[in-house]
Amino acid sequence: MRALIQRVSEASVRVDGAVVGEIGSGLLILVCAMKDDDDTAPARMAVKLSKMRVFRDAQDKMNLSLMDTGGSALIVSQFTLAATTKGNRPGFSDAAPPERGRQLYESFTSEVAALGIPHANGIFGADMKVALVNDGPVTFWVEV
């Protein structure tokens, strides 16, 4: 799995003009299932992201995790993270097929929930409009 995470002070996702998910302080997680991901990838990604120390401590150092801060996660599927960009037209052959991608995305969401992290979601496969206030800005590319 691949994820692009952004530390946010707030984030939301809309589908057809309606807010389907929103959070306050936490992580916006854009996540992509890859064609070679096995069934353990969602759990490994959830644990990794829950423990990444990307939030400020009392000394203004990035030393706290999402679990430490009690922040939330907005989880949005984004198959374009699988893009190969050699040439002018991105290719997406490294992404998991849609049904497998949906399964892994839903599994990832369940794993985040099982860790006790408050979360909201986009809608898999929908045309989504994502809004965020990037805190920092702090953005990381993560793979498991």
40, 80, 84, 92: which one is catalytic? 80
For the chain, the maximum distance between any two Cα atoms, rounded to a whole number of angstroms, is: 46
Distances (CA, A) of 5 to 8, 17, 86, 88: 9, 24, 24, 25
6, 55, 79, 109: which one is catalytic? 79
Catalytic residue status for 6:
no
- Rounded CA separation 1/96 (Å): 9
Catalytic residue status for 85:
no
6, 55, 78, 109: which one is catalytic? 78
- Rounded CA separation 57/2 (Å): 27
Catalytic residue status for 80:
yes
Name the residues annotated as catalytic.
78-80
